């Protein structure tokens, strides 16, 4: 077996992929010597897909029942910041295990993202301040916050569905089926990044509430840029996982950019459709 820093050699002219005889080979895998095509080659780690799957790799932390719940939760959250290295974990295990992780991460983050912008009877910030609007009763406050939580949850769930539909469809069309269904797993284990980031995500709402930011302020612009980082991490994770589903490098970029473009176009329409339920902003 070759070392990771062994030089990568081009496949002999006219050779075909060891797993896809109908495709021309691109390189010779330095670990196993197999001729591999573009879809089977992972240049970032200099391995063919078969070698990558053979390498020892721990499961997604959430699926490791030997650990306690806290270690499983925070271990899986931390994996999101190493999207290329951890994408291979999604080629193993059962995708349904990720449903519970999505329930304990995506749902509460999405719901909380609705509190600051969608409450009618509370005004938030700056510097973490909360002021009541008018003299509502405790019950009216509770119902108002409950409605805001529900709107946040609705918007978050809709965003995830809008993202998932084209991503799963395109990776199925351009990739190869897998029992582990890595593309489903990445949406379940990394979906919290979608509701954390962006203009309607929880991160920006918290920053605007806790800091003295005004429209047009350079600090607010910086906050909006910061709020994009979770979406970039999600895009990176989805691209790396598409490669694990045997989507080629260029096609992997396409099957991720299309869902993001669809989301970018659909999100304003979703907010507009909910406008009757949103608080009226004072001038």
Note whether 197 and 234 are within 8 A (CB). Answer: yes
pLDDT value, residue 166: 96
d(CA 221, CA 124): 19
d(CA 206, CA 126): 10
Structure tokens at 62: 């959430």
Identify the CA nearest to 251 among candidates 167, 193, 159: 167
| Mean pLDDT per 10-residue section of the chain, whose length is 283 residues | 62 88 89 88 80 79 92 96 89 89 96 90 82 88 92 94 95 83 95 94 88 68 88 95 87 94 91 74 41
pLDDT value, residue 117: 86
Report the Cα–Cα distance between both ends of the chain, in Å, rounded: 69
Domain range annotation of the chain:
1-56, 57-277
pLDDT value, residue 54: 79
Angle at 106 between CA 255 and CA 173, to 5 degrees: 20
pLDDT value, residue 5: 54
pLDDT value, residue 282: 41
- CA 273 and chain centroid, separation: 25
Structure tokens at 70: 């806290």
d(CA 96, CA 161): 16
pLDDT value, residue 16: 93
Number of alpha carbons in the 13 Å side-chain half-sphere of residue 246 = 17
pLDDT value, residue 213: 61
């Amino acid at each position: 077996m070759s070392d990771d820093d062994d030089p990568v050699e081009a496949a002999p002219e006219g050779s075909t992929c060891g797993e896809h005889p109908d495709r021309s080979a691109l390189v010779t895998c330095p670990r196993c010597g197999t001729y591999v095509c573009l879809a089977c080659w992972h240049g970032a780690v200099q391995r063919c897909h078969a070698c990558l799957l053979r390498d020892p790799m721990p499961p997604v932390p959430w699926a490791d029942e030997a650990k306690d719940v806290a270690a499983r939760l925070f271990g899986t959250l931390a994996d999101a910041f190493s999207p290329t290295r951890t994408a291979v974990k999604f080629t193993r295990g059962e995708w349904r295990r990720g449903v519970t992780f999505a329930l304990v991460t995506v749902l509460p983050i999405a719901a909380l993202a609705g509190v600051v912008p969608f409450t009618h009877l509370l005004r938030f910030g700056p510097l973490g301040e909360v002021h009541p609007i008018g003299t509502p009763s405790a019950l009216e406050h509770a119902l108002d916050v409950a409605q805001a939580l529900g709107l946040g949850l609705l918007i978050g769930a809709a965003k995830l569905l809008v993202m998932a539909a084209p991503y799963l469809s395109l990776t199925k069309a351009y990739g190869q089926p897998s029992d582990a269904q890595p593309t489903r797993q990445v949406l379940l284990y990394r979906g919290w990044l979608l509701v954390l980031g962006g203009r309607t995500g929880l991160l920006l709402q918290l920053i605007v509430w806790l800091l003295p930011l005004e429209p047009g302020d350079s600090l607010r612009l910086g906050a909006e840029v910061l709020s994009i980082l979770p979406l970039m991490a999600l895009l990176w994770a989805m691209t790396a996982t598409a490669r694990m589903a045997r989507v080629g490098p260029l096609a992997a970029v396409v099957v991720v950019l299309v869902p993001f473009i669809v989301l970018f176009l659909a999100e304003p329409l979703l907010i507009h459709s909910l406008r009757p339920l949103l608080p009226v902003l004072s001038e």
